[in-house]
Amino acid sequence: MEFVIIGGDAAGMSAASRAKRLRPDLKVTVLEKTTDVSYSACGMPYNIADPKREIEDLVVRGANIFREKQNIHLLTGHCAKAIDRINKTVTGMSLKGKDFEFSFDKLLIATGASPIMPDLPGFNLPGVMQLKSLDDGRKIKHFIKSNCVKKSVVIGMGFIALEMVEALRALNIEVDMVKLRPVFLPWMDEMLADVVKGEVETNRVHLYPGHVVERIEKSNKGLTVVCADLKLEADMVLVAIGITPDSRLAANANIELSVSNSISVDKGLKTSDKNIFAAGDCADAYHVVTGQKVWIPLALRANRAGWAVADSVCGRKADLPGVAGTAVFKLFDLEVTRTGLHAEEAKKFGFEPVEVTIKSGSRAHAHPGSSTIYVQMVGDRKSGRLMGVQMVGKEGTAHRINAAAVALHCHMTVEQFSQADMAYAPPFGPVWDPMLTAANQLFKKMRT
């Protein structure tokens, strides 16, 4: 059987490796358009922050290891251009300009997502960067070093934008941030968002929300980001306004698309074509709270989905329950986390959300070094179910959020969650864990 995979990062290489472990006789071909495979994309901002580290340090497993130790037919620099569902072939072109064609019995589309780059004047100028692939990280490190960058503008205020702000400040580069929407973090509780905003501004980053970027111009000083009522000078501009599923191959092959133009898959990762799977950032998923289709690109989901596809291809039953949207990022001294739905999302899906926001300590009150943890929790008044949790703090939030994620996967009520037997020791938290305090208060509020 011929198993062909388009895309050689998290989902693609996870599927290829597992398929060869389960069935060593299976012929597995991976077509990767770049020269990099299997790397830690999430580690790029931290690598960029350290000029002593090479970007290649992020490579988890080199291409030759897949070829030589696992006997995977891995072809880098091979860009798939079209899928013929009737004849079951994939065609494309290599970086050397040679056409190729591969037949498949089973196909996995693992093309990931692409960064959004506005079609505006000046966004193709030298020094205007984006960060998605390892080569993007390579280019940013080289540009900073070669051009002695001292001032930067970041367009966008999402996860990647904020992680890169910390990286740039670690290199002593001045940073201005600008974006279209007037609200700093629209998905976050206002009190928690104010804490995050304060952390950014404390680190001498200037925020300009609510400004429409019209163009980028070359100037004597380098680059100028031009808004209707604002001009920001920079040596380098990072565009980080989001990503979009790379689903063009599927769309051109008349494979069904879903929310945000992601590829529609069932719980076994099959597309509308029974011989074609999709996994990773190009595909949708079911949300464990709502049961509805969502597009939430996550590293763990990509790896897990790759495994599930391999299981299915090798004759094993594989159904994934879905995602809760659990995420965490570090921002200077803060840990910022979330899982599940915020109140507005819950309302949109027909729930009757009730929410509370509390402040607690990261350690017992008499233990030295305690800092404030902010917890926002949402429940559904009608069913009593836990809907979602957000947390911000200087310690103790990054891993606490996992308890809430498990509760969402188990469809726990707020009352059930409030009775969970959580660990206690003074260096790690108060007797009443911050999440238990929030759950207790939320449960009382839901009963009124």
Q: Which sequence positions are flagged as catalytic?
A: 42
165 neighbors 177 (Cβ within 8 angstroms): yes
| Amino acid occupying residue 5 | I
Closest to 339 measured CA to CA, from 402, 297, 285, 293 = 402
Say how far apart CA 59 and CA 331 lie, in whole Å. Answer: 24
β partners of residue 30: 5, 74
3-class SS at 435?
A: helix
3-class SS at 254?
A: coil
| Amino acid occupying residue 333 | D
Say how far apart CA 185 and CA 166 lie, in whole Å. Answer: 17
189 neighbors 167 (Cβ within 8 angstroms): no
Say how far apart CA 348 and CA 327 lie, in whole Å. Answer: 21
Say how far apart CA 79 and CA 2 lie, in whole Å. Answer: 19
Q: Quick one: how far is CA 31 from the chain centroid?
A: 23
Say how far apart CA 63 and CA 353 lie, in whole Å. Answer: 48
Which residue's structure tokens are 């969502």?
A: 294
Q: Which pair of tokens denotes residue 296? A: 């939430």
* Cα–Cα distances in angstroms (integers) from residue 362 to residues 243, 306, 395, 426, in the given order: 34, 37, 6, 9
Beta pairing class for 106-109 and 276-278: parallel
C-alpha Rg value of the chain to the nearest Å: 23
Say how far apart CA 155 and CA 238 lie, in whole Å. Answer: 6
Say how far apart CA 413 and CA 396 lie, in whole Å. Answer: 23
Say how far apart CA 27 and CA 3 lie, in whole Å. Answer: 6
Say how far apart CA 11 and CA 37 lie, in whole Å. Answer: 11
